[in-house]
A and B are shown apart, each in its own frame.
Chain A
Amino acid sequence: MAKQDLEQLIQGRDLNELVAEFRAKTTGQHSPALQRLINRIRSEPMTGKLALLCTKPHEEWRLVQMNGRGKPMTLLGGIYHDLNDAEWAIFKLRMKRHFDIDLQD
């Protein structure tokens, strides 16, 4: 996705602020610009979608890539022990995937 699309989504808001907002609170009501941005990057089809596989209930989640209906998912490297960390990891990967933006922790 091109740079100008990102600008259309965040409409003049400072990207760093939006990223900080997401990092601080991954779930629930977001500011309008952040919600537009994550709605866009979460619209991935099932084929190629980044998701999480719960490997220990309420304790451990692994990053996966979905490969479409009926197809086995691919385990990627990440292992998380907090859902917010996992959300953050997916967010970073999608910012890279969709806008070629590298985010640091």
Chain B
Amino acid sequence: MLKITGYADRVSAMPGDAIRFMINCEYPDYQASVVRVVQGDTAPEAPPVKLVPVPAAIDGRYPGRPQVIHAGSFGRVDCERGFAGVSSLSLQAMIFPTTPQKGRQAILSKWDEAEGRGIAMIVAADGSLGIEISDGATRKVLSVGKPMLSRHWYFAAVSYDAVTGALHVHQEPQHDFPTIDDSGSASDTVPAGLSWQNAAPLLFAASWGGEDAGRTIGRALYNGKIDRPRVSGASLSLADMQALRGDLWSERLGGALIGAWDFSRDIPGIRMDDVSGREHHGVVVNMPTRGVTGHNFTGEDGMCWKDRPTQWSAIHFHDDDIYDAGWQVDFSLTIPEGMKSGIYAVRIEAEGEEQFVTFVVRPPRGKPGSKLAFLFPLATYMAYANEHFGTNDGLVELHLNRALVLHPHQQFLNEHREYGHSLYDLHSDGSGVCYSSRLRPVLNLRPKVEANHGAGPSHLWLFNADTHITSWLENFDQDYDVITDEDLHAEGHGLLRDYQTVVTATHPEYYTKEMYDAVHRYTHGGGRLIYLGGNGFYWRIAYHATQPGIIEVRRSEGGSRAWEPPTGEYYHSFTGEYGGMWRRQGNRSPNHLVGVGFTAQGFDQSSPYRRAEGAADPRAAFILEGIEDEILGDFGLTGGGAAGMELDRHDVSVGSPPHSLVIASSGPHTEAHVFVVEDMLFNFMGATGDVCDKVRADLVFFETPQGGAVFSVGSIAYSGALPWNNFDNNISKLTLNVLRRFMDPTPFPMPTS
């Protein structure tokens, strides 16, 4: 099992910027050094691994120390004054538990786990609503005793009367079902004046496990939604608590409130606004999902939380949410002036174990170091961060059509769920993961790592597969800058403007509007784009306005997707933008941008391309110059062919420019390569690569305004063919032909009809 993990506070830095590194190391000490990452594929069939040591100020030995992650989201309100002199208490909310049988879960708590003292409204061990109260010596749990259904709304209310010692619990389902007995109340008595008071903050969806190095530890983590929580400093009658369920209440009830929180305020932010007038505002910790439907969602007053926020006054908490691991800094690297732009990693070594933390040195703003840029798809790396494909769902083997091979980092992540999930995973309660942060170790963003989805012999996916591209560029002495799409999101077109050519990675799948528009403006302003991948520009995502390093996806409406958001949760909470595939967002399909769009996937074996009609067009002559072969790319490190894994098709009806040329098309493919669901209205037989024409990658070229051009390969496996036979092959030559012409500033003339 891994004993070294780490992350950095930023992935992209320019000279003068400092990057802080946080390392968890269970060995007594470790060696840290910096390498420039050129080629990270360890397969014997690949060129040798090339990690170039770069002397750096941080080089040296450091003491190792374990650092842990406290996962699980909750809300925190610091309102000690609100509880001053309070002894009777009422707690209530609308709740939608998603794991009622998990065991004790705190819904609203002022509970100190270390002292075993406090008061809390909980999902009790029996799956029903309960109240828990303790002065540290006398501890009482009273529950309704009728388990709640998972994924149904309940009115939940509990109270303690300090004068009489009476405890009341009330659990009321929003809907009644025959045979289901889940409505009820319970009462009991504990000593009057029980001193439950403690120093814990008021928490939603957790109890307080103390503080650890600046982080609040949530215990008794609750899975599910909470809507309209209210805390009153009095023992209210059930009728009074019912009266507090809505958004208006009498002055009398308002007078007893310690707080009433409206989660429909600041959905894009982290605030939890108290609307009681007491100003007991709080914050969410570890990014629970916001912009989710509340108990009163109708589906008839709009489908976006912006339409009628009061119907989205809920937050969905998960016991495995993680935003910022919050580790202590072990060392900091200031990027020296003049450090070459590129992909780098800090290498941590101890007792034969090795770990990497990858980062990018970008050129100073407005001062490119080259006319060529490699666009590092950080957003997509984050989308896949710590994926659990190989350990969550058994169907993965049918995707792969080969045995499931797990790697040590996946074994570690399976057992260390606190490292958080990718946007492909489900939370422990079965809901889709729609946020992913890079402020935690991302164990699949490093050289030498293998993955499930890339076919053999290399078995690479995303970052490490992308080193086939960087090693190819360096083999042909192409000087290049590296820029990230996170910077592209922040800076827009200006980041690309001065490059003659931009080369993508193998799988630039996740794009914000700002990223998409910047690339579009670039290609329409004379820029040249080489898209060396498949299934690119596919999902719309959003960044958070105030919290760095976290993205959101809502896999709305359709598409090839790992999960489906519930109705009413199709809009990003971070921005209010409609989520889903770019092809459903106006004229922004990948075909519009790069001439091809996702059409099929399969992960067993790749296929070659064959010349197509466009190959004979004089406009494309430069592409195939010096290449006589009819068959292109019948070799490669990813499945033995240049076309495979995820494939894109040229299709004018989906937006490919009518003047674009198809130079080559791939196929036939294996039966494991299956036509995508978004192009399949009714499902039908004959949708697999052995029989379906639409299961193919198209190699496409077209000119863009002001002398620009786009070249797309439409295949994730393509990059695996570049290094084949020591970079001497027809795919490498073809790609180099394109790159050389694209680097020539001579404008591409627009074809005339």
Which residues of A are interface residues toward B (Cβ below 8 A)?
Answer: 26-30, 35, 39, 42-47, 49-54, 57-58, 61, 64, 66, 69-73, 83, 86-87, 90
With a cutoff of 8 Å between Cβ atoms, the chain A residues found around residue B395 in the complex are 43
Contact among A43, A52, A69 for B404, CB-based, below 8 A: A52
Contact among A28, A43, A45, A54 for B406, CB-based, below 8 A: A54
Q: Is the CB of A39 within 8 A of B398?
A: yes
Q: Is the CB of B391 within 8 A of A69?
A: yes
Q: Is the CB of A90 within 8 A of B394?
A: no
With a cutoff of 8 Å between Cβ atoms, the chain B residues found around residue A50 in the complex are 403
- Complex CA–CA separation, A39 to B400 (angstroms): 11
Q: Is the CB of A64 within 8 A of B392?
A: no
Task: Please indicate which of the listed interface residues B405, B411, B448, B456 has the most CB atoms of chain A within 10 Å of its own CB.
Answer: B405
CB distance from A25 to the nearest CB of B (A): 10
CB distance from A42 to the nearest CB of B (A): 4
CB distance from B387 to the nearest CB of A (A): 13
Interface residue total, chain B, C-beta cutoff 8 A: 35
Q: With A51-B390, A69-B414 as given contacts, are A29 and B671 in contact (CB-CB < 8 Å)?
A: yes
Q: Is the CB of B404 within 8 A of A87?
A: no
Q: Is the CB of A27 within 8 A of B671?
A: no
CB distance from A94 to the nearest CB of B (A): 10
Q: Can you give 5 contacting A-B residue pairs, CB < 8 Å?
A: A51-B390, A57-B450, A66-B391, A70-B428, A73-B406
B338 at the interface (CB under 8 A from A): no
Interface 0/1 of B439-461, CB less than 8 Å to A: 00000000010100001110000
B417 at the interface (CB under 8 A from A): yes
B577 at the interface (CB under 8 A from A): no
Q: Is the CB of A28 within 8 A of B415?
A: no
Q: Is the CB of A69 within 8 A of B392?
A: yes
B501 at the interface (CB under 8 A from A): no
Q: Is the CB of B406 within 8 A of A42?
A: no
With a cutoff of 8 Å between Cβ atoms, the chain B residues found around residue A72 in the complex are 414-415
Q: Is the CB of B604 within 8 A of A28?
A: yes
The 5 closest A-B pairs by CB, nearest first: A28-B605, A51-B404, A45-B394, A46-B394, A42-B397
Which residues of B are interface residues toward A (Cβ below 8 A)?
Answer: 42-44, 388, 390-395, 397-398, 401-408, 411, 414-415, 417, 428, 448, 450, 455-457, 604-605, 670-671, 690
With a cutoff of 8 Å between Cβ atoms, the chain A residues found around residue B394 in the complex are 43-47, 49, 66
Q: With A27-B604, A53-B411, A66-B391 as given contacts, are A58 and B406 in contact (CB-CB < 8 Å)?
A: no
Contact among B42, B403, B428 for A90, CB-based, below 8 A: B403
- Complex CA–CA separation, A46 to B390 (angstroms): 9
With a cutoff of 8 Å between Cβ atoms, the chain B residues found around residue A28 in the complex are 401, 604-605, 670
CB distance from A28 to the nearest CB of B (A): 4
Q: Is the CB of B401 within 8 A of A27?
A: yes
CB distance from B507 to the nearest CB of A (A): 21
CB distance from A104 to the nearest CB of B (A): 20
CB distance from B29 to the nearest CB of A (A): 25
CB distance from B576 to the nearest CB of A (A): 33
With a cutoff of 8 Å between Cβ atoms, the chain B residues found around residue A39 in the complex are 398
CB distance from B403 to the nearest CB of A (A): 5
Minimum CB distance partner of B606 in chain A: A28
Q: Is the CB of A86 within 8 A of B403?
A: yes
Can you add 18 more A-B contacts, CB < 8 Å, to A27-B455, A52-B406, A53-B406?
A27-B402, A27-B456, A27-B605, A29-B605, A43-B398, A45-B394, A46-B393, A46-B394, A47-B394, A51-B406, A52-B403, A53-B405, A58-B457, A61-B405, A64-B406, A66-B391, A69-B391, A70-B415
Q: Is the CB of A52 within 8 A of B405?
A: yes
With a cutoff of 8 Å between Cβ atoms, the chain B residues found around residue A53 in the complex are 405-408, 411
Q: Is the CB of A70 within 8 A of B414?
A: yes
Q: Is the CB of B405 within 8 A of A51?
A: yes
With a cutoff of 8 Å between Cβ atoms, the chain A residues found around residue B388 in the complex are 69
With a cutoff of 8 Å between Cβ atoms, the chain A residues found around residue B671 in the complex are 29-30, 35
Minimum CB distance partner of A47 in chain B: B394
Q: Is the CB of B403 within 8 A of A58?
A: no
With a cutoff of 8 Å between Cβ atoms, the chain B residues found around residue A29 in the complex are 605, 670-671, 690
Q: Is the CB of A58 within 8 A of B393?
A: no
Minimum CB distance partner of B393 in chain A: A46
- Complex CA–CA separation, A29 to B392 (angstroms): 26
Task: Please indicate which of the listed interface residues B42, B392, B401, B671 has the most CB atoms of chain A within 10 Å of its own CB.
Answer: B401
With a cutoff of 8 Å between Cβ atoms, the chain B residues found around residue A35 in the complex are 671
CB distance from B447 to the nearest CB of A (A): 12
Task: Please indicate which of the listed interface residues A28, A69, A87 has the most CB atoms of chain B within 10 Å of its own CB.
Answer: A28
Q: Is the CB of A49 within 8 A of B397?
A: yes
Minimum CB distance partner of A88 in chain B: B403
With a cutoff of 8 Å between Cβ atoms, the chain A residues found around residue B411 in the complex are 53, 73
Q: Is the CB of B392 within 8 A of A46?
A: yes
- Complex CA–CA separation, A32 to B448 (angstroms): 36
With a cutoff of 8 Å between Cβ atoms, the chain B residues found around residue A86 in the complex are 403
Minimum CB distance partner of B452 in chain A: A51
With a cutoff of 8 Å between Cβ atoms, the chain A residues found around residue B390 in the complex are 51
Task: Please indicate which of the listed interface residues B391, B398, B411 has the most CB atoms of chain A within 10 Å of its own CB.
Answer: B391
- Complex CA–CA separation, A66 to B410 (angstroms): 12
Minimum CB distance partner of B414 in chain A: A70
CB distance from B345 to the nearest CB of A (A): 17
Q: Is the CB of A26 within 8 A of B402?
A: yes
CB distance from A79 to the nearest CB of B (A): 14
CB distance from B606 to the nearest CB of A (A): 9
CB distance from A102 to the nearest CB of B (A): 20
CB distance from A36 to the nearest CB of B (A): 10
Q: Is the CB of A46 within 8 A of B402?
A: no
With a cutoff of 8 Å between Cβ atoms, the chain B residues found around residue A64 in the complex are 406
With a cutoff of 8 Å between Cβ atoms, the chain A residues found around residue B456 in the complex are 27, 83
Minimum CB distance partner of B448 in chain A: A57
- Complex CA–CA separation, A1 to B450 (angstroms): 34
Q: Is the CB of B398 within 8 A of A42?
A: yes
Minimum CB distance partner of A55 in chain B: B408
CB distance from A35 to the nearest CB of B (A): 6
With a cutoff of 8 Å between Cβ atoms, the chain A residues found around residue B405 in the complex are 51-54, 61, 83
Q: With A28-B604, A58-B43, A66-B391 as given contacts, are A87 and B414 in contact (CB-CB < 8 Å)?
A: no
Minimum CB distance partner of A69 in chain B: B392
